[in-house]
């Protein structure tokens, strides 16, 4: 070996050794966390945690539409994040594939475990074990324009509680003018209608899936047909703007903000935007009713889980447990208009006096979410059977054809 | 090392030089075509979810194709779309190329205008058209309403028959400039003397077109048609962005269906199998076109 080569070798070894203490002797735990791009207070949570703890969480926001693909690719590459905030409907699929850490023992130790939003807890379970807990919760309900209700001679303090009352209210508001409509739905958006139309069926005691989620009940449950007929009437009578028929969800929130829509299905995520960006909008909210009364809601949002393969299970849980603490739930969630994941904390100083927020939060008590590993294929896919069935039934008026088509394609997907 | 090269014969050094010249291309084709192709073939014989266990399933994915109603619907739709979109692109491209053929002053301005839509991405142009076609703020409805041509704003993308037509319109606008440039090169390669002597013999416009222009442009026409047909068979962006496959799933092209299976339903193996079948279809289509448009002696 020449002297020059020897010198290089020594320098290289020194370089490696010199860099080692920084990583090897440092006790600090650095965890990565992924969240999809949704308007929850995740960044505020992480900032607060990082400011007060030795361990640090690095947050990466992934566009919602790409989350599952990216997460799957990261898992396949052996580099998943330590913590993941996942759209709750995907949790069974991730848990079934063995990609999440079993946190049953941690959950059992929580004094408030029974108080966590039920839909999210159910979706976080797989074969009787817990894999995730709620982190961002939202239930669907109907938002209504109080000014239009008053102009139409309706009592805004007694919003509709049955389908017939909704139809009557929509007709009365529609009669106010050419550019005023009784209702809004985004009939080009699959997810929007899972969120806001399914509860009409549930509140009437019906469902599109059997109780054990093993088969489709679209043709066998008469409520499904009646709910489709209800929406078909809204469309046929021109109670929604024509553009609603092709809206892909772009106007799901903004349509109501225009002030010319009487009622619209929505979620808590929209309320904060309406109050800050449209202070003149005078609105109230009510639960999504069943045919002859009752109420239901789609429990949506995110659950938080620890990904398999992390070396920091205990520390990751410490972070997750802290996000559910009273301190975080009140001062970060409620203070920013986000619904706490613990139902007992819905009555808090920030929600006091705002009945809308309370109604929105109480929707979660009647919240329900389909439990199926093929949720995306059935309901969320813009080319999936759910949206096609709705469009054929509601826009084309072919209810029989839609039911047959829905039943057949649901069954095909569920049988794999 | 350096002395080793010097010891080579002239013939060997020539071969080595040639090898060095093609190495980058070979490496590029290997990394971006051959290896992915082999991987796709390999995947197509497996049940390959995004995460979870992979399992060898043999020809099952290919057998599933015969039961996939949407696959046949998509093939049929893609074929109809290709048949409908290719003639306007070609004919309009040919007319534009004829118009801008002569090198007269300021002709470059027109060539640039016609070519401009080609340089923006298909995704961007599709979004542009979505807004132009919008029922509330779109320019098309504004014009139609102002001239009283329609009683109320039209939902162009909301009806199966108009959705396909407006997508075709947008794609023609977007791609016709490229066909124009290809055909322009062909037109300019034909010596003027041929036309002059034909005129002396009394040939009119159509005789010159049929007996001089088209035969001499055969290669350019073949290239333009092949690229256009391949582009249409592989269409995805315009439907993904403009129609989202709707209304009522009537505009799901074959690549859209492959995308859905691979990245929405995470049936990567099945998506791979469909891709391989599509590759076969494209090879056959291109082969047929090359055969029809071959140079006849």
Task: For chain B, say whether A388 makes contact (Cβ under 8 Å).
Answer: yes
Task: For chain B, say whether A41 makes contact (Cβ under 8 Å).
Answer: no
Nearest-Cα distance to chain B for A95, in Å, is 10
Q: Check pLDDT > 70 for residue A3.
A: no
As for how many domains chain A has, the answer is: 2
B-chain residues near A382 (CB < 8 A): 244-246
Closest CA to B85 of B209, B19, B10, B170: B170
Q: How far is CA A355 from CA A115, B145, B180, in A?
A: 21, 44, 64
CB contact under 8 A, A69 and B50: yes
Q: Check pLDDT > 60 for residue A19.
A: no
Nearest-Cα distance to chain A for B247, in Å, is 8
CB A320 within 8 A of CB A101: no
Task: Looking at the structure, tell me whether residues A310 and A383 fall in a common domain.
Answer: no
Task: Looking at the structure, tell me whether residues A38 and A131 fall in a common domain.
Answer: yes
Percent of all residues in chain B with a pLDDT value above 90, rounded to a whole number: 64
Is A8 within a domain?
A: no
Helix axes B218-233, B160-188, angle to 10 degrees: 150
More confident residue, A170 or B204: A170
Task: For chain B, say whether A15 makes contact (Cβ under 8 Å).
Answer: no
State phi, psi for B293 to the nearest 5 degrees: -95, 15
Would you call A282 helix, strand, or coil by DSSP?
coil
Task: Looking at the structure, tell me whether residues A216 and A351 fall in a common domain.
Answer: no
Is A111 within a domain?
A: yes
- pTM for this prediction: 0.81
Task: For chain B, say whether A96 makes contact (Cβ under 8 Å).
Answer: yes
pLDDT tens digits, A124-176: 999 999 999 999 888 899 999 999 999 999 999 999 999 999 999 999 999 99
Token readout for A96 is: 């079934």
Closest CA to A345 of A358, A360, A330, A356: A330
pLDDT, residue A13, reads 63
CB A81 within 8 A of CB A74: yes
Is A70 within a domain?
A: yes
**From B49, B244, B248, residue closest to A248, measured CB to CB:** B244
pLDDT tens digits, A57-71: 999 999 877 888 788
Q: Which domain holds residue A281?
A: 139-297+372-414
pLDDT tens digits, A355-388: 888 888 888 888 889 988 888 889 988 889 999 9
Compare all CA atoms of chain A with the CA of B159 and give the residue at the minimum distance: A246
CB contact under 8 A, B263 and A75: no
Task: Looking at the structure, tell me whether residues A143 and A248 fall in a common domain.
Answer: yes
CB A298 within 8 A of CB A139: yes
Task: For chain A, say whether B56 makes contact (Cβ under 8 Å).
Answer: no
CB contact under 8 A, A96 and B52: yes
Is A14 within a domain?
A: no
> Mean pLDDT over residues A284-294, rounded?
95
**Cis before B247 (ω within 30):** yes
pLDDT, residue A415, reads 87
Task: Look up the CATH superfamily of B68-292.
Answer: MetI-like (1.10.3720.10)
Nearest-Cα distance to chain B for A133, in Å, is 22
Task: For chain B, say whether A396 makes contact (Cβ under 8 Å).
Answer: yes
Nearest-Cα distance to chain B for A352, in Å, is 40
Q: Characterize the bridge pairing of strands A283-286 and B46-47.
A: unpaired
B-chain residues near A248 (CB < 8 A): 244
Interface confidence, given as ipTM, is 0.75
Task: Looking at the structure, tell me whether residues A172 and A291 fall in a common domain.
Answer: yes
Q: Across all residues in chain B, what is the average pLDDT?
A: 91
A-chain residues near B249 (CB < 8 A): 383, 388
Task: Looking at the structure, tell me whether residues A144 and A133 fall in a common domain.
Answer: no
Distance between CA atoms of residues A314 and A106, nearest Å: 9
Is A258 within a domain?
A: yes
Task: For chain A, say whether B135 makes contact (Cβ under 8 Å).
Answer: yes
Task: Looking at the structure, tell me whether residues A97 and A81 fall in a common domain.
Answer: yes
> Mean pLDDT over residues A192-211, rounded?
95
DSSP alpha helices (H): ranges in chain B? 2-6, 10-29, 35-44, 60-65, 69-99, 107-119, 122-132, 139-146, 160-188, 192-200, 205-208, 214-216, 218-233, 237-242, 254-259, 268-292
Distance between CA atoms of residues B261 and B198, nearest Å: 57
CB neighbours of residue B208 within 10 Å: 16
Nearest-Cα distance to chain A for B119, in Å, is 27
Q: What's the CATH code of the domain at A324? A: 3.40.190.10
pLDDT, residue A210, reads 94
Q: Check pLDDT > 70 for residue A16.
A: no
Task: For chain B, say whether A95 makes contact (Cβ under 8 Å).
Answer: no
- What stretch of H or E contains A85? strand A83-87
**From B52, B256, B263, residue closest to A69, measured CB to CB:** B263
Is A80 within a domain?
A: yes
CB contact under 8 A, A94 and B264: no
Task: Looking at the structure, tell me whether residues A118 and A264 fall in a common domain.
Answer: no
pLDDT, residue A23, reads 45
pLDDT, residue A170, reads 97
Cα A332 from chain centroid (whole Å)? 19
pLDDT, residue A122, reads 92
pLDDT, residue A25, reads 44
CB contact under 8 A, A376 and B248: no
- What stretch of H or E contains A193? helix A190-196
pLDDT, residue A228, reads 97
Task: For chain A, say whether B158 makes contact (Cβ under 8 Å).
Answer: yes
Closest CA to A138 of A275, A265, A32: A265
Is A209 within a domain?
A: yes
> Mean pLDDT over residues B67-83, rounded?
93
Task: For chain B, say whether A416 makes contact (Cβ under 8 Å).
Answer: no
Contact residues for B229 (Cβ-Cβ < 8 A; gap 6+): B82, B86, B285, B286, B289
Least confident interval from B74-78, B109-113, B149-153, B292-296: B292-296
Task: Looking at the structure, tell me whether residues A270 and A384 fall in a common domain.
Answer: yes
Would you list the DSSP string of B24-57?
Answer: HHHHHHIIIIIHHHHHHHHHHTEE--SSS--EE-
Task: Looking at the structure, tell me whether residues A283 and A318 fall in a common domain.
Answer: no
Distance between CA atoms of residues A95 and A127, nearest Å: 9
Task: For chain A, say whether B268 makes contact (Cβ under 8 Å).
Answer: no
pLDDT tens digits, A26-49: 578 899 999 987 767 889 999 999
Q: How far is CA A110 from CA A81, A275, A306, A322, A363, in A?
A: 24, 35, 17, 11, 24
Task: For chain A, say whether B249 makes contact (Cβ under 8 Å).
Answer: yes
CB A285 within 8 A of CB A196: no
The residue count for chain B: 297
Preferred mutation among A179, A238, A383, A414 to probe B, highest tally of B CBs within 10 A: A383
The residue written with tokens 């019906």 in the block is A206
Task: Looking at the structure, tell me whether residues A400 and A309 fall in a common domain.
Answer: no
Preferred mutation among B49, B52, B77, B126 to probe A, highest tally of A CBs within 10 A: B52
Is A21 within a domain?
A: no
Q: Check pLDDT > 90 for residue B274.
A: yes
């Amino acid at each position: 070996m020449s002297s020059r080569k020897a010198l290089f070798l020594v320098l290289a070894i020194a370089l490696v050794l010199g860099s080692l203490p920084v990583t090897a002797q440092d006790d600090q735990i650095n965890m990565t966390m992924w969240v999809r791009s949704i308007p929850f207070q995740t960044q505020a949570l992480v900032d607060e945690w990082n400011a007060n703890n030795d361990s640090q969480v690095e947050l990466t926001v992934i566009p919602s539409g790409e989350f599952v693909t990216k997460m799957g690719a990261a898992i396949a590459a052996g580099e998943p994040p330590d913590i993941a905030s996942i759209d709750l409907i995907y949790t069974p699929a991730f848990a079934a594939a063995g990609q999440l850490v079993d946190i049953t023992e941690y959950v059992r130790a929580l004094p408030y475990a029974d108080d966590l939003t039920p839909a999210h807890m159910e979706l976080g379970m797989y074969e009787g074990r817990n894999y995730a807990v709620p982190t961002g919760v939202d239930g669907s309900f109907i938002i209504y324009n109080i000014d239009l209700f008053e102009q139409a001679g309706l009592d805004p303090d007694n919003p509709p509680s049955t389908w017939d009352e909704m139809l009557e209210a929509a007709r009365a508001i529609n009669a106010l003018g050419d550019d005023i409509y009784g209702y809004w739905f985004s009939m080009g958006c699959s997810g929007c209608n899972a969120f806001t139309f399914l509860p009409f069926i549930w509140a009437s005691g019906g469902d599109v899936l059997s109780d054990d989620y093993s088969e489709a009940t679209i043709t066998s449950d008469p409520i499904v047909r009646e709910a489709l007929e209800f929406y078909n009437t809204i469309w046929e009578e021109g109670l929604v703007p024509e553009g609603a028929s092709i809206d892909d969800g772009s106007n799901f929130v903004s349509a109501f903000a225009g002030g010319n829509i009487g009622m619209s299905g929505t979620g808590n995520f929209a309320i904060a935007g309406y109050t800050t960006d449209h202070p003149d909008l005078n609105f109230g909210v009510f639960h999504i009713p069943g045919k002859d009364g009752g109420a239901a809601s789609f429990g949506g949002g995110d659950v938080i889980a620890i990904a398999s393969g992390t070396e920091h299970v205990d520390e990751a849980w410490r972070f997750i447990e802290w996000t559910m603490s009273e301190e975080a739930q009140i001062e970060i969630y409620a203070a920013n208009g986000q619904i706490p994941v613990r139902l007992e904390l819905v009555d808090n100083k920030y929600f006091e006096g705002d009945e809308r927020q309370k109604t929105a939060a109480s929707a979660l008590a009647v919240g329900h979410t389909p439990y199926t590993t093929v949720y995306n294929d059935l309901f969320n896919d813009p080319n999936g059977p759910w949206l096609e069935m709705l469009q054929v039934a509601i826009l084309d008026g072919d209810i029989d054809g839609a039911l047959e088509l829905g039943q057949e394609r649901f069954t095909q997907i569920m049988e794999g | 090392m350096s002395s080793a090269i010097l010891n080579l014969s002239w013939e060997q050094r020539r071969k080595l030089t040639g090898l060095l010249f093609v190495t980058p291309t070979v490496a590029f084709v290997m990394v971006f075509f051959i290896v992915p192709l082999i991987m796709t073939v390999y995947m197509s014989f497996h049940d390959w979810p995004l995460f979870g266990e992979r399992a060898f399933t043999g020809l099952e994915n290919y057998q599933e194709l015969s039961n996939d109603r949407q696959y046949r619907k998509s093939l049929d739709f893609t074929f109809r779309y290709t048949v409908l979109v290719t003639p306007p692109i070609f004919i309009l491209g040919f007319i534009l190329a004829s118009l801008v053929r002569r090198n007269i002053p300021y002709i470059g301005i027109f060539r640039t205008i016609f070519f401009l839509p080609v340089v923006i991405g298909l995704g961007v142009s599709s979004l542009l058209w979505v807004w132009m076609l919008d029922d509330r703020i779109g320019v098309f409805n504004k014009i139609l309403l102002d001239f009283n041509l329609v009683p109320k704003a039209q939902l162009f993308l909301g009806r199966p028959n108009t959705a396909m037509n407006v997508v075709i319109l947008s794609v023609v606008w977007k791609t016709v400039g490229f066909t124009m440039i290809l055909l322009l090169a062909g037109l300019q390669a034909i010596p003027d003397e041929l036309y002059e002597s034909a005129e002396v013999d009394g040939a009119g416009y159509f005789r010159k077109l049929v007996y001089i222009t088209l035969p001499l442009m055969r290669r350019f026409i073949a290239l333009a048609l092949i690229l256009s047909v391949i582009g249409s068979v592989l269409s995805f962006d315009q439907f993904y962005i403009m129609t989202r496959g709707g209304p009522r799933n009537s505009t799901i092209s074959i690549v859209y269906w492959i995308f859905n299976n691979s990245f929405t339903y995470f049936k990567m193996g099945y998506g791979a199998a469909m891709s391989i079948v599509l590759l076969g279809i494209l090879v056959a289509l291109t082969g047929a076109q090359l055969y029809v448009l071959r140079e006849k002696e």
